[in-house]
Structure formats: structure tokens, C-alpha cells
Structure 1
Amino acid sequence: MKPGFEYSSVANLEDVQKFGSILEQCFLASPGEEEAWLKRMGVENIRLIHEEKQVVGGLVVIPMGQWWGGESVPMTGIAGVGVAPEYRGSGAALSLMQQTVKELYANDVPISVLYPATQRLYRKVGYQQGGSFCSWEIPASSIQIKEQPLPIKSVPLDSEIFYDLYTKQGQNINGYLNRNQTIWNRIIKSGEKEVFYSYILGSIAKPEGYIIISQYSADNDNILSVVDWVTLTNAATKTFWSFLSNHRSQIDKIRWRGSAIDNLTLILPEQTAKNRHIQRWMLRIINVEKALSARSYPSAVETELHLEITDDLIAENNGKFILSIANGCGNITKGGKGELKLDIRGLAPLYTGLFSPQQLQLAGKLDATEKIISTATQIFAGTSPWMADFF
């Protein structure tokens, strides 16, 4: 770490106030807004960077999980990274991120995810593009799906049923968050400025999905925003669209979060749904051995992949590893032939499946023979990774 910078957790509430003021300037927030956010996220999760005992920046760590191959892999999200304007370019942000990654490794965290304001900083500490965050929009009048196979019932926002349904969907989506309660609270607690309405798709005894919505006006349009949703069956997907279509007399546009290639849109009569916004979140493999052994793999694949990895920040991640796949599980040991060479950044999109091994080779992110590329493709095959939550 650069001499003069000191990394720490919060020592007192004055530190929280100082960091909150820095974030207000970073993110154009109202006075007191960021301090309140920090307290909601948990003071114990704040990490600060100091110079001569002066708070010059910080971030928030968010312990949770992320589904890969049907397994929830422990993951720490990084949010609220901010440095005071007079310290930008000084190396404070780099020191902050380097020490955070080292702390996560010391705490046996397999992977970490963040949403970057700039990729350059995070690539310096080993993060790389890992998956997509997409917002979709469709004119309500164009949905034209009238069939409603399932009943719809209004339920309270604090219903426990949401958690189980969400988990069932998350297990089938690479990159989906295994949310902690802080993330859930943003969905199941309406704010002062926004009212949420929640519904079960199907019967209470046998639900097949849910939808949580809000409504507002913007730019002379009435907007229905799908805050959160789950559809576990084709019947639930049809009911989802029928329910939204029934709002067309008052609602102009429907907005929701989905995959970059969203299967929800496949049953629409026309291609009237459009990507409104898309960005990539970044992932870092914090601990190579734990990350590769914690996730699941295609059950029909039984093979070995010999890796050679370089990591400028975490020395223990350097070297040759053998990833053995059988019965959907991965076992990793040190050693082997080092037939697929890549650095820790290149390992991230390989792990997530955002890009195929062949695509990563073309981009100069890994080096391997055609045979090894084929093996890696089988191991890391899966749907395009995405998540519905921004943090």
C-alpha cells in the first residue's frame, strides 16, 4: 500500500459522517442521504482509507452469495466506492481496493462482484467483466397476450413465500444473487416516494411465481415498473404477461430487469420489447481453489482442465492447478501441465461463461490449444450470466 495511506474499518460515527459527505459529492446525493445509506448497509461493513488519520475515501462490503451452476457460491459485493476529490489520482482508490481484496482472501471469500464507474481501476486489482445487468421496456399495448392460465392473488410485501420462489428461480440462473436481507429490504419495503404492489402467480398452496410492481409518471408517460419477478413455469410466464397487458388502458410502458437475451420475450407476438439500458458488472476470483470448487458444473461432463494462472495481488493464486470435473462437482489440486494459461482477470469471464474460451483467446485473455479450448468450453457451458439487482 502507498506510504501515508492507512486501511481500516470504522472507528467511530464521526468516520461514518465524513465518509457519507464524501459519497454525497461523488454521487450527487442530498445532504444526509449517503450517511443514512451507510447505516442501512451496516457500519461494520464500511472500509475506509485514511491519510494522516483523515478519512479520504472508502467503500462498503456486502456479504451474500451468487448462483453458479445451481450452487450458491459465497460472494462479497463491493459498493459505494468513493474518494474525496482532492485525493483522486493519488492512488488512494487503488490502495483501498488492493487492501479490500487482500482482506477478502484472508476471510476465505471465493469471489467478489461490483458495478464499475470505471473499469480501469478495478482491472488493476483483478476484476473483469462477469455478466450483464439489463433494463427492458415494452409498450403495454403491444403485449397482446390475453391467456391467463393461473389465478393472481394480492399478498403482503413481507410474505415469506417470496424467498422460496426466488431461490428456486435463482438456482437456474448463472450470476443471480443469493440476496442478503439488506438487498431484500429494498424490494419488500416500499419507500416514502414509491408504493409497491405484490402478487402471487398461482394458488397460495402451490405458487408458480410472483410479481412486485410500482407505477409512476415520467416524460408524459405512465410507467409500470416490475420491481421483482419470478416465473417458474410456462403458465406463470403467460400469466405474468397477461397481468401486465391488462394495465394497458392506464399504462403506456412496462419496464423490467432481465437477461441480455431474455426468455420472457420469446412468447411475445412481436419484437416490441427493447433494451432500455445494459451494462456489465465485474467479478474477481478472490481464491482460485475455493471459487472453482464451490460452484457446480454440467453433470454429464467428466474431464480435467490443467490451468496456469497469474495473479499480481494474491500470491497464493499463482501457479498450476488441475480442475477435475465429475458428477457435476469440481475438485481442484495444485500442479499439472498448465495447458490453459491466463491471468486472474481472464479467469473471471471464463468462470462466469460471459465469454466462451474461444472468444477469450481471440481477445488475448487466455492461451491454449484447440483441444484444451474444447474441454474448457464443455466445463463452463451455461446460459449467459446476469443479475436483476444493482448495488
Structure 2
Amino acid sequence: MKTEQLQMQDLEAAMQMSEYAFRYEIPKEKRAERLKQMDQYQQLYGIKENGKLAAKLHMLPLAIRLGEQTIPMGGIAGVATYPEYRRNGYIKQLLSDTLYLMREQGMLVSMLHPFYVDFYRRFGYELFADRTIYTLKKKDLVRMAPVDGTIERVKKEEHSQLIEDMYTTYAATYSGMLARESSWWQQRFYGDHDFIAIYRDASGKAQGYMIYETSSRDKLEVSEFVALTADARIGLWNFLAQHDSMFEEITLDLPHHDPLIFMLPDPQLALKSYPYFMARILDVPAFFEKYDWQQSPAGVVLHVEDKIIEENNDTFSFKDESTAISSETKGISLSINMLSAIAFGYKRPLTLWQAGLIDGPEEMVRKFEQSIPNREAYFYDFF
């Protein structure tokens, strides 16, 4: 059983496996372009049996934002096998080998969208971001006091660097947001019927945008809502509320801690909130060398358990924000899963300690708690 990087001649077989496993079909006129993108932007790994592709996954070399820091990330997608090859350990081998391959390429974290959370927890992944979708009816579209700004409505074909720059500024306020390149916007982000509403303040400076779809007669769907200022939030909302005569329902994809819903006269909206993406640290010392601590973690010692990446299965101590392998016996014991959830800000050390999910001296746990930035985790993208 050998993991190998798939070549151009293997990509059609990989695409057919995805179609079978995920039950969709790529139209003939789009197949060549899809193969080209797979070859250009992804690394595919697979296991063959008697020369035939038996299992495969796609690795996307990407990057994420942890506040102001940009961290190289390997995205995992398209994990699949045919039914006749299941339960042979192929997927386990593929994932384990690919984690090491990403680490060797300098990627500090890996992320994926799970089909089943517990399955990927076995490989060190842990939830790091939730998704919250609000559903609004006509009665909820109450305009706020107007602000001194304007809305510019453009089509997705008019996408510009201006939108990318606003997203980059917004992403820096979170943990885990994708560091989108222009090619990602153009090929992977927009839907077929998307519009963009850009808010400009009184001086003409763009301070926010909203991406939304109007293909349904009765429903408007907001897939991304980015406000860099209070006025931008109000201006975008008032534009959204102006659609009250056009749609019976509006869905809004919004971080749960964004104050917009709180600002409404009646914030008791129908909502769907669910765990969304998972992440795991690939290289503990290298990751924390780039980490932007809230305050120095000096004196914190971590006994990390990683069942896949042996180099992470060690004791690490922090001294003046540097990380080193240590022989200390007193420290916080935790899995790579829990460490990843903490580092992204999804769960706080003290919360996990009180739940019995990490173990160690309370004083050190509190020191670790104070060192982790108070920054929310969120992820708008999908792969």
C-alpha cells in the first residue's frame, strides 16, 4: 500500500471517483477546465490497486490569517474511495501520509470540511469554526437611521482589488480566515448569480461590502457580509432592507458575534448554527514561532499527544515567546486536537480544563489562558 502523487494522466480517474462518491456530474464542456485547475492549483494523492486508482484526496496549498499573521495551510478535500476498496485502510494511509507531506512542504496547519467529525478527530483535526445562518422575513427588514454613505452595486464580473483589500482587512480581525489570492476569488468563490454591494463613506472610501444572490423569486441569500465600520454595517443593512418588496425571505450568513442582529428592533430570528470547519496544527514549534500571543506564555509547558505526527508527540516549553522541546514534567497535558482548538480561539484553555478535556496545574492553565488572543475564529469559504 503506497501513497503516490497523482499525475496529469491520473486526474480524469480522480474526477470520476469524485463524481461517483459525491453523486454529481461535471458537464462535458467543463471537464477540461476542471482538469486544468486540478493540475495547476492542487496536489492529488492516491493509492492504486493493480494499477487502478482505489482511493484519493486533494491537497490545496493555501494560507490563512491568524490576526495579522499569514500562516501556510494545506486544505484537504475530495477524500474518496470506491465501495469495493473500503475498509482496507487506504484512507487512513492517505491522510496520515499527506499530513507528513504537508509538514515537509512548510505548511503549519491543515484544514478540512468534515463529512463526520469524529472520523477526522482520529487524525488530530478539531473543530475551529461554526457557521450561523439567519433567516429574516419581510417584517424583520426595518431600516435604521440613515448614514452619510452610498451603495455601489456591481456584478461579480466587476470584482476588483478594492473588494480583496477590504476582505484582507476584515480577515485580520479573526482566526482562520482564508488568505484569498485573486485566483481563488475568480475561480472558487463567486456563484453564478452573485451581486456585490459596496458601501462607501461620505469621503468615497470603500468600508464594506455584501455578496448576495437573487436567483430565486422569493429568496435573497447573503453569502458574505463584511463591514469595517459601524456606518458600513448600517449602510449595508439599509440596502438589504430595501429589498422588502421583492423577497419573502432573506438568509444571512454572519458570524454569530457580529453586532448586526443585536441592533435590530426584534433580534429573535430563526437561525441555524452548526459546526463547520476543522483544523489541526502540523508543526507545533514552528506554528507557535509565528503565533501572535496576547502576552508572553513564558513558563507554560505543554505535554502534547499527537497520534499521527510523531514529532509533535512531545513536551514543549515557552520562554519569551520562543518554543523548545523540554524535559519538564510539570505541565499541561492535552491532545493536538485540543491545542488546535485553543490556538484558533475556538475554545479557551480554562473552559477545556474545567471540562476535563485538558489536564494540568490550574495556575499554569490560567497563564496559558491569558496568553491566547481574545480573537474569534471564523471561516467563510469552502473546499
Task: Tell me the TM-score normalized by structure 2.
Answer: 0.90
Letter of the 2:382 partner, please give it.
Answer: F
Structure 2 letter corresponding to 1:93: I
Q: CA deviation at 1:78?
A: 0.9
2:347 pairs with one of 351, 355, 359: 355
Residue 128 (structure 1) aligns with:
126
Measured against aligned partners, the alpha-carbon deviations of 1:121-150 in whole angstroms (never above 9, x if no partner) come to: 322221112222332222243131243311
Structure 2: state its 5+ residue gaps.
Answer: none
Map residues 3-18 of structure 1 onto 2, 5 A cutoff.
5-13=1-9, 15-18=10-13
> What is the one-letter code of the residue matched to 1:110?
L
- After TM superposition, the structure 1 stretch with the greater mean CA deviation from structure 2, 195-204 or 373-382, is 195-204
| Partner residue, 1:211 | 210
Q: Encode CA deviations 1:298-333: one digit per residue, 9 max, x unaligned.
A: 2x55643111112222222122212245xxxx4212
Which 10-residue stretch deviates more, 357-366 or 84-93?
357-366
The one-letter amino acid paired with 1:40 is: Q
Q: Quick check: 1:128–1:345 contact (8 Å CA) kept in 2? A: yes
Q: Does 1:40 align with 2:41?
A: no
**Structure 1 residues 42 and 275: alpha-carbon distance in aligned structure 2, compared to 1, 3 A threshold:** farther
Structure 2 counterparts to residues 96-115 of structure 1, below 5 A: 96-115=94-113
Paired letter, 1:352:
F
Equivalent residue for 2:361? 369
**Cα separation, partners in 2 of 1:181 and 1:95, compared to 1, 3 Å:** farther
Q: Are 1:21 and 2:16 matched, yes or no?
A: yes
Cα distance in 2 for residues equivalent to 1:232 and 1:367: 39
Distance 1:8 1:22, change over 3 A: same
Q: 1:360 to 1:277 in 2, by over 3 A?
A: closer
In the alignment, the residues of structure 2 paired with residue 227 and residue 101 of structure 1 have an alpha-carbon distance, to the nearest angstrom, of: 31
Match of 2:278 in 1: 282
**Partner Cα separation in structure 2 for residue 140 and residue 185 of structure 1:** 33
Output the aligned Cα RMSD.
Answer: 2.3
Amino acid at match of 2:237: W
Q: 1:305 aligns with which of 276, 300, 305?
A: 300
Distance 2:6 2:322 in 1: 38
1:171 matched residue in structure 2: 172
* Number of positions where the alignment pairs a residue of Structure 1 with one of Structure 2: 375
Indicate whether 1:86 and 2:77 are aligned: no
Question: Which range moved further: 121-130 or 108-117?
Answer: 121-130
Structure 1 residue 31, shift from structure 2 partner: 4.7
- Give the SS at the match of 1:304: coil
Of the candidates 248, 252, 255, which is equivalent to residue 256 of structure 1? 252
Between the aligned partners of 1:135 and 1:41, the Cα distance in structure 2 is: 30
Equivalent residue letter for 1:107: Q
CA 1:12–1:70: 2 relative to 1, 3 Å: closer
| Cα offsets for 1:209-241 (capped at 9, x unmatched) | 112221132xxx711112333210000000111
Which range moves more in the overlay, 236-245 or 361-370? 361-370
1:322 aligns with 2:317: yes
Distance in 2 (alpha carbons) for counterparts of 1:279 and 1:124:
17
- The 3 A distance-change label for structure 1 pair 17 and 320 is same
Percent identity between the aligned chains? 24
Task: Show CA shifts across 1:266-302 (max 9, x none).
Answer: 211112433235223111110001111222122x556
The aligned residue for residue 331 of structure 1 is 322
**Alignment correspondent of 1:228:** 224
Change (3 A) 1:92 1:182: farther
CA contact (8 A) 1:201 1:209 kept: yes
Unaligned runs of at least 5 residues, structure 1 = none
The 2-side partners of 1:209 and 1:42 are apart by 34
| C-alpha displacement of 1:378 | 1.0
- Tell me how far apart the structure 2 counterparts of residues 208 and 358 of structure 1 sit (CA, whole Å): 36
Change (3 A) 1:216 1:318: same
In the TM superposition, what whole-angstrom CA distance separates every residue of 1:79-120 from its partner, at most 9, and x where no partner exists? 111111211222111111011101011112110110100123
Deviation at 1:182, TM superposition (A): 4.4
Secondary structure at 1:29 match in 2: coil
Once residues 342 and 358 of structure 2 are traced to their aligned partners in structure 1, the CA distance between those partners, rounded to angstroms, is: 9
1-structure distance, mates of 2:379, 2:138: 24
Aligned in 2, Cα 1:321/1:16: closer, same or farther, shift over 3 Å?
same
Q: Is the 8 A contact 2:196 2:209 kept in 1?
A: yes
1:6 aligned counterpart, secondary structure: coil
Secondary structure of 1:17 counterpart: helix
Amino acid at match of 1:314: I
TM-score (norm 1): 0.88
